Chain A
Amino acid sequence: MEFFRIQRDIPFMRHALVFNIISFLTFAAAVFFLATRGLHLSIEFTGGTVLEVSYTQAADINKARASVETLGFGEVQVQNFGTSHDVLIRLPVRGDLKQSDVAARVFERLCTDEGGRLVARQYTTPQGEQVSRTACAGTGDVEPIRLSRTEFVGPAVGAELYADGLKALAFVVIGIMVYLAFRFEWKFSIAAIVANLHDVVIILGFFAFFQWEFSLAVLAAVLAVLGYSVNESVVIFDRIREAFRKFRKMNTREVIDHAITSTISRTIITHGSTQMMVLAMLLFGGPTLHFFAVALTIGILFGIYSSVFVAAAIAMWLGVKREDLVRTAGKDRDPNDPNAGAVV
C-alpha cells in the first residue's frame, strides 16, 4: 500500500502568499475572539467551587440553576456533565462568603428541591473502604441526588497557576527557539516558533469562540502540541538542509517544495496515527478528557497546516539561502551527505 504517489515535487511555495493570508486571517480571528470573548477559564485558574451531582432521573438543568441562583452566590453555571443525569455546578469565589459552606449549602438546596433531606451516612464498600458522606435521603430507600465530587480552589492558588502557565509557555518558546537556532539557523527558529505559536493562538481562539472550558489539562495539551508540531517543522527543515546539499541546481523555492513533497507522506501518516490515539481519547475518555482531546485535535490539524505551509513560507520570506545551511557541512563531514562516499 502506498498512499502518496507523487510524480514530481508539488509547487507548494507558489501559493505561499495565499497560505500566509489564510493563516493571518485565522490568526486575526483567533486574536479577535480572545480579546472580545476571552477564555472561559476553569476554577483551577479563577478559584471557585465545583459540585458534581448525579440525579436518579434525568436532571432539570434550568430548575437546578434557578434554585441555586436564589442562594445568591453570584454567577452560577449549571450544565450537564457527560450524561443527562450528571450535573456540574460552578460557583465563583466570593470574598464575603465562607467557601467551605457553599458546596454544602448548594447541595442542601438541590436536595430539598428533590424532596429529600440531608443525612450523614456511613458504610463500607465491597472493596472494604469506609466511606462516610452526606447523603440526600428521599422517600423510601432512594437517593434523588448524590454528590459525586466537590472541589474548591482559592483565588490565590488560581492566580499562581495562571502565572505558572504563562511561565511554562515562555520557557517552551525560548527553549525551542534556542535549540533550533543552534541546530539549524536563526531564520528557521523564528519561522518554526511563529508558525507554531500561530497554532497555539488558534487553539486558544477556538476555546474563546466556543467558550469551552480552559482547564489545566487543556494547557498541558496546548504545550504538548507546541512541542509536537515543532517536530514537524524540524523534519521539514532537516529535509531542506539535505536538499540544499544534494541538489545544487535547485533554487530555494524548489528546495522547499522538494522537502515538503518528500516528507508529506510521513507527515500525514504520523499525524494520522497520533490523531487516531487522540480520537480514541475523545470517544472513550469521558468528559474529563474531552477538552484535552479537543485541544489536541485542533492542534494536530493546524500543526500539519502550519508546519507545511506556514513555517517553510516564513523561512522563505526571511530569505533562507543555501549558504546559511551548507556552511557547516564544510567543517565536519555530514554522514547524510550522499557525496561523502558510498555506504555499504
Chain B
Amino acid sequence: MNRYPLWKYLLLAIALVVGLLYTLPNFFGEAPAVQVSSGKATLKLDAGVVPRIESALSGAGISADFVQFEGNSAKARFADTDTQIKAKDAIAKALNPDPSDPSHIVALNLLSRSPTWLTKLHALPMYLGLDLRGGVHFLMQVDMKAALAKKAESYAGDLRSLMRDKGVRHGGIVRDGETITIRFRDRTTLAQAQALLAEQMGDLQWLEGSDGSDAKLTGTLKPDAARRVQEQALKQNITTLHNRVNELGVAEPVIQQQGTDRVVVQLPGVQDTAKAKDIIGRTANLEFRLADMTPEARAALDGRGPVPFGRERFGVGRGAPVIVYREVVASGDMLTDAQPRPDQYNQPAVSVTLDSKGGRRMLEMTRANVGNFMAAILFEKNKGEVLTVARIQGEFGNQFQITGMGTTEAANDLALLLRAGGLAAPMEIIEERTIGPSLGKENIDKGFRSVTYGFAAIAAFMCAYYLLFGVFSTLALAFNLLLLVAVLSMLQATLTLPGIAAIALTLGMAIDANVLINERVREELRGGAPPQAAIHAGYERAWATILDSNVTTLIAGLALLAFGSGPVRGFAVVHCLGILTSMFSAVLFSRGLVNLWYGRQKRLKSVSIGQVWRPQGSTPPVQQG
C-alpha cells in the first residue's frame, strides 16, 4: 500500500530536474558587460549594430565573451572590469562620432554568467531588488514652465475661437511665455471682451493696459488654476512613466512624487542606466500641427526666403524638412491610443484615437484643411523631431489613420513613438544614481545566513528527533526550497530582503506539515498499528489537517498580495508560492521518499521514526529502530 505508481515517481523526478535546472542560473553570478541602446527616439537599433561593435572592439584589441543583440539593445560581455571600461570607451567612440549629440547610449552593465544553453531554456537568475543589488534611481524634474506655457497656448486658441464666435473684434491674440495679450482698437470692445472673459474664462485673470493707441488685456493663469495645471501635469507624467515602465516589465518599480515638481523613479534590478534612460529619459512630448505647403513656405524650405510669420521649420525626422504652423491642433496629452493596424487596402497604417477635446479640435481643423498636410512632431529636450507628415484625406474627428508607412515595422515604430508622447510636460533627469551593490551585498549575506542557519537548526533537530523520517522531512524541506527558488526564477520575480525573509519564514512554517505527518505516524504506532499501516494512515490523516492549515495561511498571504505594496508585495508573492510548493514537497515528495525506502518491504518490522513512547499499561511496544 505504500507504493507509488511509476508516474508519480516520474512526476517527482521531473519536478526535481526542472527545479534544479531553473535554480541553477542563480549560482553563476554576474559578469561585467557593456550595453548599447538607441539615444534617439527616431533611431531604432537592429542586429546590424553587432558587427559595428565587434569591429570597434577588434580595432581596440579587446576580446568579448560575446556580442549579441536582444530586444532593443546590444550587449557585450567581458571577462573583467578593466576590459569592460576600455570597451565602453572604444564602442562609444566608434558609434558616436559627435560626442555632444550622441545617437547611441553606451553604458556599463552586468550580465548573468550562466552558460548560453541555460539561457536558451529561459532559465534565468532571479532579479534582485534595489535593497539587495542596488539599482537605478532617478530624480526627474518636470518642466512646469513648459506645462504652463502649453496651457496658456491652448487658452489662446480657445480665446480666438471664443472671440470669433461672439463677434468680438480684437487686434490680435499673442501668447508670450505664460501670459496672453489681447489687443483692441478701442475701449468699448475691451469692456465688451472683459465681460465675456469674466464669464467664460474663469481660470484667467486679466490686467488692463495700453500699448500706444491700442488698448490691451494681459491675462495670466490664476494661482490656484496654475497649481491645478501643475498638479495635473505631474500626475499625468507619473501615470505615463508607470505605463512605460510596466510595459517594459520592470518588477516593483518605485515612481513617486517628490516635492511639487519632481518625480523619483527607482528601478530595482536594472543595472543598465542605458535601458533605464531608454525608458525614462525618452520623455517626449507629441504635437499634431498643420503643415504649411504654400509657395512661400516652400521657398523658405529651399532657403530662398524667410520662414513665414507664425510658422516653424523642423529639419530632423521623417518627412523633414517641413514648415508647420505654431498653433498646436492636438497634443500628446489628448492622445488616448495609437496602434499599428492595417488600413482598408491592407497596407501598414497607424490608427490614432484622441480624447473628445482633441477630437473636436481635429474636426475643426480638418474641416477647413482637406487636402493640406498635417505633421506629428515629437519634442525631446526642446528639440523637435518630425515623426510623420501626412495629407489630410477628409474631415475627421477623434479617430483617424495615418497611412503611407511603407512597412509594418515603420507603423509599429510610429505607434510606439506617438504613444510615448503622452506627457503633459517635458521632464529631464536631474539626478541619476546607480546604487552600488555593496550595501545590497551585505543584505544578501544577512538574508542568506538567516536562511542557512535556520535551515541547519531545523534539519539537525528533525534528524535527531525523528531519525530517518527526520532525514526524509529535511530532504523534503530542501526540495521545497529548491522548488521555491526555481518557481521564483521562472517567474522572474524580484527578490528583496523581505522576500528572503519570506523564504525563511515559509521554510520554518513548512516543516509543520512534516511534523504533523511524523507525529501521526508515531501515534498510529503507539496505538499498535503495524508499521506499513501506520505510515499509510499517518499520511492520510495528516493530509486534511495540512490542507486546512495551509488554506488559512494562504488567505493571509493573498491579502498581503492584494493590498500590499512595494516590499510587502515581494514578501507576499514568496509567501504564497512557498505555501503551494510546501504542500507539494511535504506531502508528495516526502511520501515518495518513504515509499521508496519502506514501500517494498513486505514484512516491515520497524520504522526509524525515533522512540515511540507508550503510556504505562498499554500494549507492549513493538521493537523500534
Contacts and interface: CB of A to CB of B under 8 A. Distances in A.
Interface in B503-550: 504-505, 507-509, 511-512, 515-516, 519, 522-523, 533, 536-537, 540-541, 544-545, 548-550
Given A127-B81, A127-B110, 4 more contacts: A169-B559, A175-B555, A230-B549, A277-B454
B121 interface: no
B559 A7 contact: no
B562 A168 contact: yes
B290 interface: no
A77 interface: no
Chain A interface size band reads: 35 or more
B11 interface: no
Given A1-B610, A127-B437, A224 B563 contact: no
Interface in A196-244: 216-217, 219-220, 223-224, 226-228, 230-232, 234-235, 238
A152 interface: yes
A126 B80 CA distance: 9
B214 interface: no
Interface of B: 1, 30, 32-33, 81, 84-85, 107-110, 131, 134, 139, 256-260, 262, 264, 271, 273, 432-439, 442-443, 446-447, 449-455, 457-458, 461-462, 464-465, 497-498, 501, 504-505, 507-509, 511-512, 515-516, 519, 522-523, 533, 536-537, 540-541, 544-545, 548-560, 562-568, 571-572, 575, 610-613, 615-616
Interface stretch (A68-76, A268-276, A323-331): A268-276
A276 to B, nearest CB: 4
Contacts, number: 262
20 contacts: A127-B81, A129-B108, A129-B134, A149-B439, A168-B564, A171-B563, A172-B555, A217-B501, A223-B560, A224-B575, A227-B553, A228-B553, A269-B519, A276-B458, A280-B449, A283-B453, A284-B446, A289-B447, A343-B536, A344-B533
Main secondary structure of the interface of A (DSSP, over half): helix
Interface of A: 1-3, 5-8, 44, 98-100, 124-133, 148-149, 152-154, 156-157, 160-161, 164-165, 167-169, 171-172, 175-176, 179-180, 183, 216-217, 219-220, 223-224, 226-228, 230-232, 234-235, 238, 262, 265-266, 269-270, 272-281, 283-286, 288-289, 292-293, 296, 335-336, 343-344
B563 A164 contact: yes
A227 to B, nearest CB: 3
A153 B257 CA distance: 9
B559 A171 contact: yes
Nearest to B82: A128
Nearest to A293: B501
A167 B286 CA distance: 40
A8 B613 CA distance: 13
Contacts of A167: 563
Contacts of A168: 559-560, 562-564
B449 A284 contact: yes
Contact of B544 (A1, A262, A336): A336
A269 to B, nearest CB: 5
B545 A128 contact: no
Chain B CB count within 10 A is highest, among A148, A219, A220, for A220
Contacts of B565: 160-161, 164, 216
